[in-house]
Structure 1
Amino acid sequence: MYPHIKHVESDHTLPASADVVVIGGGIVGTCTAYFLAERGVDVVLLDKSGIAHEQSSRNWGWCRTMGRDLAEIPLAIESLKLWDAWSRKLEHDTGFMRSGILYACETKAEITERAEWLRQAGPLGATARLIDRNEMTRYLGNTPPVSWRKGLLAETDGRAEPDIATAAIAEGARARGAKLFSRCSVRALGTQSGMVTSVLTERGEIRCQHVVVAAGAWSSLFCRNLGIRFPQLKVMGSVMRTAPLDGGPKGAVATSKVSFRKRADGGYTVAMRNTNIAPLVPDSFRYFNDFLPMIRNHHQEYRLRVNRHTWQELRTPTRWSNTAITPFETQRLYDPKPVDTFLDQALIILAESFPVFADAKIEQRWAGLIDVTPDIVPVIDRVETLPGLYLASGFSGHGFGIGPGAGHLMADIVTGSRPLVDPSLFRFERFA
């Protein structure tokens, strides 16, 4: 497991009832619990392992509007405001700062692509702009490689530190009345007259009228046991961090081959781009038609593999009784091994662009499983076929940055409040 996550203590006595139960202690689940608790809602957060033990602590830490699907831009803008507010409101640091993000353009085709995105995103509130080499030098604090012709820069985008941010939000939720329980898997839901009445956990039952599934890469499996079809696949990304390194570029940068960002500790988070592993699993065939358009349009970003996840999922049951031990208990955590060859290659490419990285010391490598939907846009919605059930999942690698807005919007939907952004963009029924 990624070993440097800020630990969050579990509460001890499971309550008999709550207004809302949130399943999943990642960034979206904790943000949902936070905004519900802030409104005085009695909320319980449950996780089968611990707070941010999976992708919410393993991502790049980018909080961006730039380059997003157009549907996500309003949510990303609102999320940045919420990250700002937490810098003042939370007792614990998230590491958030508006450090900017740069996309380097090395070809005419890349420049055209970025300009077209900007043409469509600008009216939605995106503030990025195309810049020349002189402005890239100013942003980086270094002269860019000669191949960098232009850049798309969003100076007001930012970053937070995944190893501490979700824990800080969880503690903020607890301070506002939320109860947090680790190593407490939800086995099933209790229902009556076709409506949610409780969650059945490995430690007992909690009566409730509302349940939010924010279980990341586990959400589709949980939904399937309820008879609900949620097309979702898992994609593995590999990441590493360096020791503190002086003299390197400032901020966060993505090229067509590699991405990196300066960390609060003075090191860098580094990853290869477009080298995600897509394990070939039963869901690959179950949802093949759903994902076919994405495969056609984004096939260069994913590499199909038969690996240990293939055999794992072949043995994983997809249905179980309300009292049976579930896959969430027999495997508490997705903790894949990183692909070292990808990471070694990333460091070589980075050192060619900025020689200071030739002296970089790698402190740690890790991998995580990203939950992906067919259109690479999340679901944040109620499930109409089971009143009382809500789904906030499928964030497709974008969830950390927009987690605050997603949690706020989910809390809006549950409580019937005015939504932070248009929720129709994230409706579940588009996969019906």
Structure 2
Amino acid sequence: MTTLQRTERTSAIAPALELLFAHDLPFRLTAYDGSAAGPPDAPVRLHLATERGLAYLLTAPGDLGMARAYVQGDLVLDGVHPGDPYDALRLFMSRLTFRRPSPAEAVRVVRALGLGQLLPPPPPPQEALPRWRRIVEGARHSPARDAEAIQHHYDVSNRFYELVLGPSMTYTCACYPTAGASLEEAQAHKYDLVARKLGLRPGMRLLDVGCGWGGMVRHAVTHYGVTALGVTLSREQATWAQRAIRDAGLESVAEVRHADYRDVGETGFDAVSSIGLTEHIGIRNYPAYFGRLRDRLVPGGRLLNHSITRPHNRPTSTGAFIDRYVFPDGELTGSGRIITEMQDVGLEVRHEENLREHYALTCRAWARNLAEHWDECVAEAGEATARVWGLYLAGCALGFEINDIQLHQVLAVKPHPDGSADVPLRPDWGV
């Protein structure tokens, strides 16, 4: 069965598609039938290249339909590098508002375009099932389902991540000591900031949950003389990290396991770092999560939670593109909710700070890496996946810039029974 069943067309495609937008188009839209709409001198030119792309736009009006068509190559940004569509996306986010046509309007558009029957094309293979459909397949944030969600995003290809993330292989917000610092300098500075907040000293034991490729583990054992255990649900990450530990000769003091944080049975850690994991565990699971991390600590031990947050604590939808293409089952809330949950399990919060501008800089640096190594990234992961990453990194950079999302580090301590906390009178770290 074909996606589009044709009847006689009475309208051009590009002008008809203006119905999908709430205001005048801020870009020039052209279509494969030769039609055009929007300002001829617009700074961004968008070309609808195929009938499949038209079907995506009409059957999923809004950002999901546009993302599907763009990922598949059916919607093309003329003159824009797909690895870094930042400028185009900035225009869209500031001036583009979608509207969902009424059923009657949709019928008129379909008829005007000569589409007697319109069926939604299959989504791109990079798209995960929507959240509401995945619920029936397993309890959200069960170990099995969390593992599947993590694998969707993190097991793309270690080589792909090497190209995008750079030598540090660190996929979390960097902390720039100066605006002109390199990405590698900023990632090292971030790890050092975490280590200093945790008060790491030789002989201590560190647990790093959601350890990624083991960057924090290696930094802590190399520069602070601790013994460290990292855990990650991504098999690809664990394999890479284990090799890096062996290559550095750190097997006696560093370990990375392919495991769920819930599987860590050891206790007596002096410090716990959670860098970029809270986004994946589910807000309802915060009490159990922070309680489990608290139980891994000795009295006086510190926990540093580093995670993407909202600028408020109200329930907010993740958005179809992020949920389906980037972080399936991911959930964000404000720093207030995170602090409350940490306090309610008996942890004493001692410090918090917002690093959102640093994450905007980090995403821009990753996007430059993607664009610079575009051909190799496409060869490694496929063009559709690379396009997803271009959209994702540009969108996230803008989100941090406009304060739609933030990045908070929250430092807490497990008090001694007498209430003492083993922390300095004044912090000895700086941004």
Query: TM-score per shorter chain, which class?
Result: under 0.3
Structure with the higher fraction of residues in helix conformation = 2
Structure with the higher fraction of residues in strand conformation = 1
Provide the TM-score with structure 2 as the length reference.
Answer: 0.26
Q: Say which one has the larger Rg.
A: 2
